[in-house]
Amino acid sequence: MSRLPWREQAAVWLAPSQVGLVLRRRGWQAPQQHRHAVAADGADALLLALGAVAAQAAPRRARARIVVSNRLVHMALLPDGRALRGGTERRVAARELLRGVHGDAVEGWDLAVDAAAGAGMPAAALDAGWLARLRQQALQAGLHAVSVRPLLALAAAHAWPRLAGRAAWLLVTEVDGALLARIDPAQGWQSLRSLPFDAVQGQAALAPWLARCALLEGLEPAEQPLVHVAWQGLAAAGPVTSPDLPGWQAEHLALSAQDI
């Protein structure tokens, strides 16, 4: 008998406080979804938690798309990637920017920059050893990782129809924190700032932090629209719980595991 034309598909979410997996099984009957999540505490604990959550789901050679919390990714902004010749020079420049903050630890990081040169460009890096262990742990658990992306990349792609061609803010929120970028149609990505949510304030810290970010840019909140992408994790897509952001021209979008 020839091989059946479907395979299991998995969406995996890795955050400092949680690991989640949505397994989609296809067969002769209607597709089925199985959702599993476990708590975690720190980057190394995530790998053990991934094994635990996969044991609940019992995948069989599932093609897995993995999204990593912005809180686990090191990021930098290249002022103008067009001035650099090719992807190699852009990666070298991004590594040097990260070195200025994190020191020589960057030599052991796996770094990615957009292949297409542009004005201000984001770069993202993960510890190469941790990334290799992640792929190996996933494979042992029955998950073949076909992609590993930071949440920012997924959120920006989701929001781009509302961002393209205008000066705007991009706000990405998740359970462990928030990330704010200012994007200009001519100059690209202009700034990138992050806020961890602590156990005391949580998202209550969001509005005053946004006001401080606008002040640092020399802007009033109402001067530019803000596109807010709220990561809802394993929850099925639903209405966005909009944070109270007085003074902002905010548009809210939901993002969940089904968008991975």
- Mean pLDDT over the full length of the chain: 87
Q: What is the pLDDT of residues 27-65, one digit of tens each?
A: 544 455 778 888 888 788 888 899 888 888 877 788 999
Identity of the amino acid at 65: R
Q: What is d(CA 112, CA 76) in angstroms, rounded to the nearest whole number? A: 11
Residue 231 lies in a domain: yes
pLDDT tens by residue, 185-221: 988 999 999 999 876 677 788 999 999 999 999 999 8
- Whether 41 maps to a domain, the answer reads no
- Owner of token pair 């100059």: 187
b/e per residue, 213-229, with b = 16+ CB within 10 A? bbeebeeebeebebbbb
CA–CA separation, 98 vs 106, rounded Å? 7
Q: What is the rounded CA–CA span in Å between residue 84 and residue 93?
A: 8
d(CA 175, CA 154): 16
Cβ–Cβ < 8 Å for 151, 174:
yes
Count the neighbouring beta carbons within 10 Å of the beta carbon of residue 74: 18
- Give the whole-angstrom CA distance, residue 58 versus residue 172: 31
Report the domain count for the chain. 1
Residue 233 has pLDDT above 90, yes or no: no
pLDDT of residue 203: 77
Q: Residue 228 maps to which CATH number? A: 3.30.420.40
Q: Are 74 and 122 in contact (CB under 8 A)?
A: no
67 within domain boundaries: no
Within a domain: residue 251? yes
Domain that holds residue 216: 153-259
Amino acid of residue 2: S
On whether residue 91 sits in a domain, the answer given is no
Inside any domain, residue 199: yes
| pLDDT for position 133 | 94
0.85 surpassed by pTM:
yes
CB-neighbour burial class of residue 32 (10 A; exposed 0-12, middle 13-18, buried 19+): exposed
Comparing C-alpha atoms, which of 174, 182, 175, 176 is closest to residue 221?
A: 182
pLDDT tens digit sequence for 155-174 = 999 999 999 889 999 999 99
